[in-house]
A and B are shown apart, each in its own frame.
Chain A
Amino acid sequence: MMRYSLFIGCQIPSRVPQYETAARAVLGKLGVDLVDNKQFNCCGYPMRNVDKKSYLLSSARNLALAEDAGHDMLVFCNCCYGALKNAEHIMKEEGRLQDEIREKLREMGLTYAGNVRIRHYLSVLYNEIGVAALKEQLQNTYKDLNIAVQYGCHLLRPSPVTQFDDPVKPTIFDELVAATGAKSVEWANKLECCGAPLMGINDGLSMDLSRQKIKAAVKAGAHFFCTSCPYCQIQFDTVQNMIVSKNPESEHLASVIFPQLLGLSMGIDPQTLGIGLNKRDITMIESYLTKE
């Protein structure tokens, strides 16, 4: 049995709850045991822009807690993943800030020795379970479904730190999507940012970047985006709604979260997967399913 400390982060429980129910259902069926820890705090990503200490302390405390619990960490959010991986990287170096963080952790009765592995669930699906074993679990596969895979920046880059996949020509996510029978289309700015990091700071720029991505994915013939990060998902769902409501003629493309896509083909009921909870309607996706 694979057992992990689940790091759920802040965005999923509050704004993308269907991500959690879908991922839990899918992983549960695949024999992945998730241990919850109410003590985890924010990964520190949102503070990282302006306050290094708050960021690093946030990440380091989570790492210390996970290390103490004795399981590797499983992360559902790319930005949490990137923040935690980067913190792991920084804490390997010696420095005044690192000493300060270690001292703070000690005051809280915690230590962090760097012995906990941080895993993104896509990597666990691909490397631990494997595409072949995954395929055995499928009850239906998709036919003629074109998917624009959104890797998300903080999963891929900086690659020496995140260690997820080839940063220039990644395949893991595409292969996982292809396992369900859907086709992962090639599209122009597939590896670019969704725009979410600037939402609230420079909304115009943020939405411009999303618009470009939508345009490119539509042009490539995609029927849906597929995301593995709540920030990307919110950007392609809630923020896309804002874009479309401002300019009804602009192109649009609904986004499905990967565990929703996988879950449907594993025969998990749409309600558990929260298919109706996405802001933009994705119910059409079920019509692409064919019985094995």
Chain B
Amino acid sequence: MVFTVSLYASLIIFVLGLIYKVYTWLHRQVGFSQERPRLLKRCLSALTGMALTVFSLKLFKLLQAFFLDVLLQRKILKESFLRWVMHMLIFWGFMLLLLMHALGQLITASLFSNYESTLNPYFFLRDLFGLMVLVGVVIAVVRRSLLKVPRLKTNAMDRYAIIILAVIILSGIFLTGLKITSKTEFSNMVDAYAGLWGEEARALESYWVSEQGLVSPELEPPFKENILKQGKRLHQTYCAYCHADAQSSFTSYSFAKALHPVAAALDRAGFVEIFWYIHFLSCFLGLAYLPFSKMLHIFSTPISLLANAVMDEEKSKPENIATRQVIEIDACTHCCTCSLYCSAMMGYEAKLNPYILPSEKMAPLKALAAGKKLDETETKAVLEGVYLCTNCDRCTVVCPSGINLRQLWINAREKLLQQGPAEPLMLSQLSFVRGLNRQRVSDDLYGLPLEKADKAVRRRFEPLLEADRSIDLDQAGSGRVPSLISETTFSYCFGCQNCSTVCPVVANYENPQEALGLLPHQIMCSLGLGLTETAMASKMIWYCLTCYQCQEHCPQNVKVTDILYELKYMAVESMDEKTENEDQAGGLI
């Protein structure tokens, strides 16, 4: 009763969950897009896209990807042999258990007329498959806990996946082991299939205690030779036709042997039943929760791998790309291969913002796609994370799930830039790729995040540039002083203006002072006066190409470009400071 109810309940939740997931795949959107395609359009495009692929030469590519990437998991093998062994053991062990054991009555029985779960080879294979999964799970635990894989993070979902697999397999092995030792089970079976009593029943029991791992409260070895012989004969008559030797089920049998001293007590306490409940309930829990857990990757990752094999980024319809991206977020198994090779990994080590790592960005992207609102600090951290990316595409190349991470980042980035807080990283060369892809955003939106960032780093200092501002030259101000020795070389400046003369940015403007605020030589002069924050107000520091013409041509060896770098660092650091500063001369000590 409990079994049937929980089976159907979990099946219903599983099916509804899957339907819901497919709905989200066709409904949600990751990040930025100019227009939002309607659900129906996305359904139709997905269906036509799939149909066109299946009825074309791409079918071969699809089949190839199915065999090599899905069944043989070539991409994992390329990355690490140990991980490939781990995943193949879990994948094949679990799939075969599912088909042969869990769906035994449906599948195996219809394929093989003599199917009985307790007959060989099925009895042996069940244990073998279980052991495969178990070994895989042990490797997974070792990899995530003992091996020091850099930047490999383990979250609640990873732990859940490992635990649910371990519980299902271990409870199965324990259950079989307990059954082997159980006198109650034995008696029930004898009553049902042999109907023996008296001496014959004792002979059979003696044989089972001696040879099949049974633990009997009444009978203990040694047994007489002739009794065992009689028992064996009875076993062959009544049992063997549908029960292979217990030793075939080798892991459970070893477990049963280990249980020997306490087996009788466990049997009396009803442990067989307890583990039967644990086993099927954990299976049903796993099934019901599958669409909402990491285990959904059983479905989503093959889809992602197949899409990866046949979809062309340039030619695919935007609505199909949108659909693929939502599936891809679900296809991430959090294996952290991307973070192992991420080019921006040292950005993470310096800032310790986990969202800089590609593997850790997936969770907030998922939340955002689901329409959840992140709080202010979270948004800021996620935005910094998606922007601190060199667009080297390594993550996309190494992803064993075939996720086009490159495109995910580009989309997610734009949405956060448009809606989120100012991001100073925008004023770095990390923006190069956004510039190259500017046609993805309309012209009026493209410049907004840049303006926001520019405002954020200069807002406080801008009034200092007003032409009629009076500066008290006698009063000691609170102007900052650059910290490194080379960055104080501005004091050598004698105002020859070489730096501004050779600067290609200055040369590009008819009225450079209006466009740039202060020119390089004026910045050096301001620093000499201690007007550091006035220098930080100038647009020049942000429009510096870092071409080093100024520094190369300075007759006084002023490290002009390096000083502009330092001013940028100080401006970024001061972004969150709220205090007003008059920046009076004399700040330089």
Contacts and interface: CB of A to CB of B under 8 A. Distances in A.
B394 A46 contact: no
Interface residues of A, number: 58
Interface residues of B, number: 53
A50 B569 contact: yes
Nearest to B406: A14
Contacts of B551: 157-158
A200 B435 contact: yes
Given A42-B390, A54-B351, A200-B431, A159 B436 contact: no
A120 B425 CA distance: 28
Q: Tell me the interface secondary structure of chain A in the complex.
A: helix
Given A41-B343, A54-B388, A206-B435, A47 B430 contact: yes
Interface in B412-460: 424-436, 438, 450
Interface in B138-152: 150
A13 B505 contact: no
Contact of A196 (B432, B484, B561): B432
B484 A95 contact: yes
B254 to A, nearest CB: 40
Contact of A197 (B546, B568, B569): B546
B420 to A, nearest CB: 17
Contact of A49 (B394, B429, B436, B504): B429
A79 B428 CA distance: 13
A48 B561 contact: no
Contacts of B391: 10, 14
A140 B504 CA distance: 38
B393 interface: yes
A14 B393 contact: yes
B519 interface: no
Contacts of A200: 426, 429-436, 438
Given A41-B345, A54-B347, A238-B436, A47 B431 contact: no
Contacts of B427: 49-50, 201
Q: Tell me the interface secondary structure of chain B in the complex.
A: helix
A84 to B, nearest CB: 13
B549 interface: yes
B505 A46 contact: no
B527 to A, nearest CB: 18
B290 interface: no
A77 B461 CA distance: 36
A205 interface: yes
A266 interface: no
A238 B546 CA distance: 21
A156 B548 CA distance: 9
Given A157-B551, A158-B552, A201-B450, A51 B434 contact: no
Contacts of A57: 346, 349-350
Given A38-B341, A49-B428, A200-B434, A193 B545 contact: yes
Contacts, number: 169
A265 interface: no
A206 B552 CA distance: 21
Interface in A156-196: 156-159, 167-168, 189, 192-193, 195-196
B524 interface: no
Contacts of B388: 47, 54
Contact of A201 (B150, B347, B542, B565): B542
B435 A44 contact: no
A79 B545 CA distance: 12
Nearest to B430: A46
B484 A48 contact: no
Nearest to B548: A157
Interface in A104-133: 104, 108
A53 interface: yes
A68 interface: no
B342 interface: yes
Contacts of B508: 205, 208-209, 212
A206 B450 CA distance: 15
Given A14-B391, A153-B548, A201-B450, A41 B432 contact: no
A197 B350 contact: no
A189 B150 CA distance: 46
Contacts of A38: 341
B582 to A, nearest CB: 26
B547 A51 contact: no
Given A41-B344, A153-B546, A199 B350 contact: no
B392 interface: yes
A252 interface: no
B543 to A, nearest CB: 6
Interface in B154-193: none
A233 to B, nearest CB: 12
A143 interface: no
Nearest to B393: A14
B572 interface: yes
Nearest to A195: B545
Nearest to B554: A158
B394 A13 contact: yes
Contacts of A95: 484
Contacts of B430: 46-47, 200
A205 B505 contact: yes
A167 B549 CA distance: 9
A61 B568 CA distance: 24
B569 A52 contact: yes
Contact of B436 (A48, A58, A193, A239): A239
A51 B390 contact: no
A76 interface: no
A192 B547 contact: yes
A50 B432 CA distance: 14
B433 A50 contact: no
A53 B450 contact: no
A53 B568 contact: no
Most buried by A among B341, B388, B406, B436: B436
B436 A51 contact: no
Contacts of B543: 198, 201-202, 205
A198 B391 CA distance: 16
A208 B349 CA distance: 37
A19 interface: no
**A-B CB proximity, top 10 nearest:** A200-B431, A200-B435, A10-B392, A157-B548, A49-B428, A193-B547, A58-B346, A42-B343, A14-B393, A199-B435
26 contacts: A13-B393, A14-B406, A41-B342, A42-B346, A46-B430, A47-B388, A48-B428, A50-B425, A50-B428, A50-B568, A95-B484, A153-B548, A158-B561, A192-B547, A193-B504, A197-B429, A198-B545, A200-B426, A200-B435, A200-B438, A202-B542, A202-B543, A203-B438, A231-B432, A234-B432, A239-B436
Interface of B: 150, 341-347, 349-351, 388, 390-394, 397, 406, 424-436, 438, 450, 484, 504-505, 508, 542-543, 545-549, 551-552, 559, 561, 565, 568-569, 572
Given A42-B343, A48-B546, A158-B559, 10 more contacts: A13-B397, A41-B344, A47-B388, A54-B350, A158-B548, A158-B552, A158-B561, A200-B436, A201-B543, A203-B438
